[in-house]
Amino acid sequence: MKKKILLGLLLAFLAIQLFRPEKNKSEVKEVNDIAAVYQVPAETGRLLQTSCYDCHSNNTNYPWYANIQPVAWWLNNHIVEGKEELNFSAFGTYSLKKQAHKLDEVAELVANGDMPLSSYTIIHGNAKLNDMQKKQLADWANSLKTQIEAKVK
């Protein structure tokens, strides 16, 4: 009986490997990316790439385990949710009011240590932000938000 259950589980595991979510990989240069629309200092850009873009852009760098189901589904869900909340690749398509609001959220979430998610930084240690990096990202987001708000008025 145990052998049949184990065999059934193994077959189910193998079968789900055939159902893969589409990868979040863009081969084109994003003309609406925040770095294409606004001035992003080089170091800030690197922090965004390392700590934010995997879930908040159209181009994810996938780890090896992203090819194993159900992990790939779980990762895809995080990416879809992250991009629904904020997509740096589509930032230029947002209204100025929405851009300012999203930057306010970025500054707050990063400063409070709520982003990047701890579930992400456990595996991606290089994405973890130290206090200086948090301040740098929050200050940049607040500064850009102020510039955008000046355009709205």
In a domain, 131, yes or no: yes
In a domain, 10, yes or no: no
Residue 88 structural domain = 22-152
In a domain, 71, yes or no: yes
Residues of the chain with pLDDT under 50: none
The CA distance from 58 to 55, in Å, is: 8
Which run of H or of E encompasses 112?
none
pLDDT, position 123: 79
Total count of domains within the chain: 1
The CA distance from 53 to 91, in Å, is: 12
In a domain, 133, yes or no: yes
Q: State the distance between the two ends of the chain, measured CA to CA, in whole angstroms.
A: 72
In a domain, 112, yes or no: yes
In a domain, 98, yes or no: yes
Count the residues in the chain. 153
In a domain, 2, yes or no: no
In a domain, 141, yes or no: yes
pLDDT, position 129: 93
